[in-house]
Amino acid sequence: MKVTVERAQLLKSLGHVHRVVERRNTIPILGNVLVRAENAKLSLKATDLDLEVTETLPAETATAGSTTVPAHMFYDIVRKLPDGSQIVLEADGDRAVLAIRAGRSRFTLQTLPENDFPDLAAGDMSHSFSLAAKDVKRLIDRTQFAISTEETRYYLNGIYLHAAGTAKAATLRGVATDGHRLAQLDLVQPKGADGMPGVIVPRKTVGEVQRLIEDTDAEMTIELSQAKIRFTIGNVVLTSKLIDGTFPDYGRVIPQGNDKELVVDKKDFENAVDRVSTISSERGRAVKLSLSPGKLVLSVTNPDSGSATEELEVEYASDALDIGFNSRYLLDIAAQIEGEVATLRLADPGSPTLVQDRDDKSALYVLMPMRV
């Protein structure tokens, strides 16, 4: 194999694929990236057996061929080479090394045979549809924070993607929850998503898809089956296994009868929660919201360090109510509100609260209260 490629392009592509490779690997081949040159193209592929990313870039192919090299070391070498340089990659079948040349720099990397490299055979995909990359990014941005990190409840370790809504207003919905909070976002259902199976996209996959979206004006194609999902954007193809589990009936958690409505300026509320929570203990993190008509008092009491209160003028016309929340969770949800005004619908100190952007109902958040 002998191929010449531009440093900037190779660096960008390696940046996309090398992240999939775990730093610690018991199987040596999984630490490598597959490099294949043919037909004036260079393709790079990396996998961790659950997730596979392939990217193709233009290159001058003198001799076609393929090999595998350590992913992180290859990335670091290319990153440190001078900007604007042309990189020559050369491997001959007899010696198990890949030579990397650019200007006066020369490196050789140990290789492993391409035949050992695993292939995440995707099989047939039952559904395929396209979405604007900015919509996919928004869906991930608005729900990702609520993905559970508890490995025991593995079925909550991802975003539940499914067709929802009514026949008149069909939606593609993403939902994530960790049991303390829930995030849900609806997009207009794209053509081809009708009747798709509900799938749980793993946390790592979600993070990688989010990072791949550099051009929000691009189109992204999503193909899926019961077991796998594939995202294609530009020259990058990401294929992933899905979480094999049943996502809980989240609809039962979303409160329907919360009759106390609190309307707050999102920025003022966020800043006030942030200020008073400075006092809260690392473990407790509880902030108390005391509501009375037209007024909200936020307070934190920490027996070890002191207390803090802040008062806000708000729109609230129901009975007085005291309710507590984890301040970190409250800030996470406030950060998702895209508009300037947030609406909180409350019931009582022991029931979940519904949070939405006043002017955009496509996203909703549910937060469980804490005892304070």
Q: How far is it, in rounded angstroms, from Cα 263 to Cα 275?
A: 20
Residue at 311: amino acid letter: E
Per DSSP, the chain holds a count of helices (H) and strands (E) of 6, 26
Taking the chain (372 residues) in consecutive chunks of 10 residues, what is each chunk's mean pLDDT?
97 96 92 96 96 97 96 98 96 88 96 93 89 97 97 96 92 97 97 95 97 94 96 96 96 95 98 94 86 97 92 97 96 96 97 96 96 84
* CA-wise closest residue to 354 among 247, 251, 248, 249: 251
Q: Alpha-carbon torsion 366, 247, 190, 51, what sign? A: positive
End-to-end CA distance of the chain: 67
Per-residue confidence (pLDDT) for residue 240, from 0 to 100: 97
DSSP SS3 for 184: strand
Q: How far is it, in rounded angstroms, from Cα 323 to Cα 291?
A: 8
Say if residues 330 and 324 touch (Cβ distance below 8 Å): no
- Report in angstroms the alpha-carbon separations of 160 from 26, 139, 286: 31, 11, 29
Q: How far is it, in rounded angstroms, from Cα 38 to Cα 58?
A: 10
Q: Which H or E run contains 10?
A: helix 7-17
Per-residue confidence (pLDDT) for residue 93, from 0 to 100: 73
Tokens of 317: 């016309």
Say if residues 157 and 202 touch (Cβ distance below 8 Å): yes
Tokens of 286: 């509880």
Q: How far is it, in rounded angstroms, from Cα 173 to Cα 160?
A: 8
Instruction: Encode 50-82: b = buried (16+ Cβ within 10 Å), e = exposed.
Output: ebbbbbbbebebeeebbbbbbbbbbbebbeebe
| DSSP conformation letters of 325-358 | EEHHHHHHHHHH--SSEEEEEE--TTS-EEEEET
Per-residue confidence (pLDDT) for residue 94, from 0 to 100: 76
DSSP SS3 for 113: coil
Q: How far is it, in rounded angstroms, from Cα 106 to Cα 87?
A: 10
pTM (2 d.p.)? 0.93
- Report in angstroms the alpha-carbon separations of 50 from 119, 125, 244: 10, 17, 12
Q: In what order do the strands lie in the sheet with 286-292?
A: 306-313, 295-302, 286-292, 321-326
